[in-house]
Structure 1
Amino acid sequence: MLRGKVRALAVHLDGSDRNDLPAFSGGDPVSGRVVVEVTGDVRVRSLDVTARGVAKVRWTESRNAGANTAYTQNYTEEVEYLHHQDTLIGEERDEDGSEEALTVLHTGLHEFAFSFNLPQMALATSFEGKHGSVRYWVKAELHRPWLLPLKVKKELIVFEHIDINTPLLLAPQAGSKEKTLCCWFCASGPISLSAKIERKGYTPGESIHIFAETENCSSRVVVPKAALYQTQTFFAKGKGKQIQQLVSNLRGDPLPQGKSQSWEGKLLKIPPVSPSILDCPIIRVEYTLVVYVDVPGGLNLSLSLPLVIGTIPLHTCTSRTSSISCCSAAGWLERPEAPPSYGDLEISEAHRRECLQGCDGSEGGGADRGPLLTYITQFRYLPPPLYSEVDPYPDPVEVTCQDTCPSR
């Protein structure tokens, strides 16, 4: 009778080391090996590898249903993204325990390679939340006769890539609000807030350039602030559960009555956070930049600007466009310059005579240019007409049979 022992069972993924796990996305190949270390000879019925990916939501709510009774409602939901199974040793497990179905592993280290492809579809990004998670893993099971199976798991990190270099995510986000504080029968002046950011899509590690202007005409001292929030939404059995977490924030200077404050690209750093999850039917992860005015003793005046945290950073050529839009965002807070006066463009009478003398028919072809020369000298140096929405010289409209005759 063989009395060997299994000293170690492990799953190793290709391209990983002790401190780092490889990241995958939909359609990527995944390969690795199962390592079995034994002492003595060990009989093995089968060695199976199973890869799974599951989004799962779970929370519990308790409700009182009388004086002394209560009931608990469980909300659970699950979506499967990946299910792959492969047998590395043996075939279908034999329940009769026949010796022919067993494989003997001799003393030493044994490696068994495996490989599979992730589904060619949009996979939910790996995520750990308060009421739900998205997890991917590879599990190895070693089955031996008359003994419990040995199991080991290896986590897979999966990202559903979000490219922020798209027109929708490169579009600037802006807004403005105003609020009047009331105290009994006395109304103070308004508090106004305008804010803008250069785009909607960012990646972790970037800084958001915030352009904002706050004007305080109230009788209180207020403080402009900004905060980045992550909102986790979980769905199960037709009901939703929402959790909001503060990710990062910043604070401006106190603003007394009658004063204003401008942020010319104030930086808010995005820490390492999970990318946005927008396509999973039971879990959503969204981000919002809230620029607000902290009003002591009253409700805050706030603006919410939606953000998308992606995985593919801004391209170099797009960064240049982004910096241009950043400059234009700064100009958005300033008043445009007045147009030049037409008087500054007026030409002196001496200069006009000199031009007319140079344009007379002293050279050949003067007779042919006569009508055109008259047109130029009459209109070229006159100031432009006053602006009007109505064209004083509309083009004549031709009336065709299609306009007057009914269709046949």
Structure 2
Amino acid sequence: MTIKNLQIEYDAINSRNTFSNGDTINGRIILEVSKETKVQSLLFIAKGKARVCWSEHYGQNQTHVYWADEKYYSVKHHMIRESIQDGSEVIGKGRHVFPFSFKIPDRKMPSSFHSSVGRIVHKLKAELKQSMKLTKKAKTHFIFVSKADLETPGLMVPQHESKDKTLAFSSGSVSMDVYVDKMGYKHGETMNVTIKINNNSSRSVKPKLELYEKRSFFAQGRRKLETRTILKEKAAAVEAHSGKGTVTKMITIPRELPPSILNCSILKLEYRLKVYLDIKCAANPKVKLPVVILPVDDSRERREKQPIPPIEFGFEAFGNSHLQSRATASQAMSLPPPYEEAAMYPSFPSDFTTPL
């Protein structure tokens, strides 16, 4: 086989191996050939895209598939262009390195996400075309984390919800007021929850709290909903006819949670705090409050680690068809850390495939 290896790789700019709006990704396409070879073109591609897809069954024999796509950017640049008369260029035997520098669009886009129903993918690709041969491809995903949108209404404003319930059989009434210090939290931050209970009933009530994840997928006028409990807390029971009482709970936001995704029209990742009163032989009164998990701010670390690319980097140099000006010798390269090190962001398993 003439083409021994085609791969694309990039350099990490922080310890979590994540990128954000406006960051520059420096990397390289590596091509190894066993002998002098004609190449039509070598293309660099960067894409950001979301897709949801699921099926629903109706009756015994009818199945409908719902799907939707949302595109954020698609950038293509030639590393080797079809500019010679015969439409090909000859490269010598050995290892050839084609550096690139890609700036992620500095606009609002959702963070990387992966589930069985929907995914948000940001990736880099290389495509090598040769006459009368199949196009050879290589790709790598990078983890994109959107910058925190601090303009979200009510993000840092205290929240309050109340609920009243009258019990059956003249058993009295119960009411609760739930107060939370704000809506937006960083990983590891503590949420202060205050529950004011007025128990004028003949039954004891036990306050319980649940932080859960809510995933919503939208396609063709339909919505698919998935929920997952993250943590549960409970407080001491408030005895019957005890009147007014106050319960305070401190909840630490787990560090492994992915940030909220609120800026994608076909996929949303939200969090809720549910507070309810567990009452025997009665429907439990409950309130739900939105919680926004903010992304980690890596801006300082990015500024310290991100190198300034050399002048030949950048898309303005991609049109140059003279291979002699490109780095073709073996280089010592700093590979990015594996995705699994970024525990709070989605990892891509070895069998991960996607048409995105």
With the shorter chain as reference, the TM-score category is 0.7 to 0.9
Please say if 1:30 is aligned against 2:14: no
Q: 1:138 aligns with which of 114, 117, 124?
A: 124
Gaps in structure 2 of 5+ consecutive residues: 298-356
Quote the Cα distance in structure 2 between the aligned partners of 1:166 and 1:279: 11
Q: 2:42 aligns with which of 43, 47, 55?
A: 47
Please say if 1:74 is aligned against 2:74: no
Q: Which amino acid aligns with 2:57?
A: S
Please say if 1:13 is aligned against 2:10: yes
Q: Which amino acid aligns with 2:93?
A: H
| Max Rg structure | 1
Q: 1:283 aligns with which of 267, 285, 288?
A: 267
Quote the Cα distance in structure 1 between the aligned partners of 2:217 and 2:161: 29
Quote the Cα distance in structure 2 between the aligned partners of 1:266 and 1:20: 28
Sequence identity (%):
30
Cα pair 2:82 2:89 within 8 Å, conserved: no
Q: Which has the higher helix share?
A: 1
Cα pair 1:163 1:311 within 8 Å, conserved: no
Distance 1:281 1:148, change over 3 A: same
Q: 1:241 aligns with which of 224, 227, 230?
A: 224
SS of 1:187 mapped into structure 2:
coil
The alignment covers a number of residue pairs equal to: 296
Cα pair 2:20 2:147 within 8 Å, conserved: no
Quote the Cα distance in structure 1 between the aligned partners of 2:13 and 2:30: 15
Distance 1:85 1:128, change over 3 A: same
TM-score scaled to structure 1, two decimals? 0.65
Q: Which amino acid aligns with 2:19?
A: A
Alpha-carbon shift at residue 20 of structure 1 (Å): 4.3
Quote the Cα distance in structure 1 between the aligned partners of 2:151 and 2:262: 17
1:297 alignment counterpart = 281
Please say if 1:89 is aligned against 2:80: yes
Quote the Cα distance in structure 2 between the aligned partners of 1:122 and 1:211: 34
Quote the Cα distance in structure 1 between the aligned partners of 2:150 and 2:55: 37
Please say if 1:153 is aligned against 2:139: yes
Alpha-carbon shift at residue 165 of structure 1 (Å): 8.0
Q: 1:169 aligns with which of 150, 155, 159?
A: 155
Quote the Cα distance in structure 2 between the aligned partners of 1:192 and 1:218: 10
Cα pair 1:207 1:270 within 8 Å, conserved: no
Please say if 1:59 is aligned against 2:50: no
Alpha-carbon shift at residue 127 of structure 1 (Å): 1.5
SS of 1:217 mapped into structure 2:
strand
Q: Which amino acid aligns with 2:123?
A: W
Distance 1:179 1:83, change over 3 A: same
Cα pair 1:277 1:285 within 8 Å, conserved: yes
Cα pair 1:222 1:255 within 8 Å, conserved: yes
SS of 2:50 mapped into structure 1:
strand
Distance 1:267 1:62, change over 3 A: closer
Distance 1:206 1:301, change over 3 A: same
Quote the Cα distance in structure 2 between the aligned partners of 1:131 and 1:296: 37
Query: Which contiguous aligned blocks of 4+ residues in structure 1 show a shift greater than 6 angstroms?
Result: none
Q: 2:97 aligns with which of 94, 111, 120?
A: 111
Cα pair 1:47 1:88 within 8 Å, conserved: yes
Cα pair 1:247 1:271 within 8 Å, conserved: no
1:395 alignment counterpart = none
Between the two structures, name the one with larger relative contact order (CA 8 Å, sep ≥ 6): 2
Alpha-carbon shift at residue 72 of structure 1 (Å): 1.4
SS of 1:169 mapped into structure 2:
coil
SS of 2:154 mapped into structure 1:
helix
TM-score scaled to structure 2, two decimals? 0.74
Cα root mean square deviation, aligned: 2.7
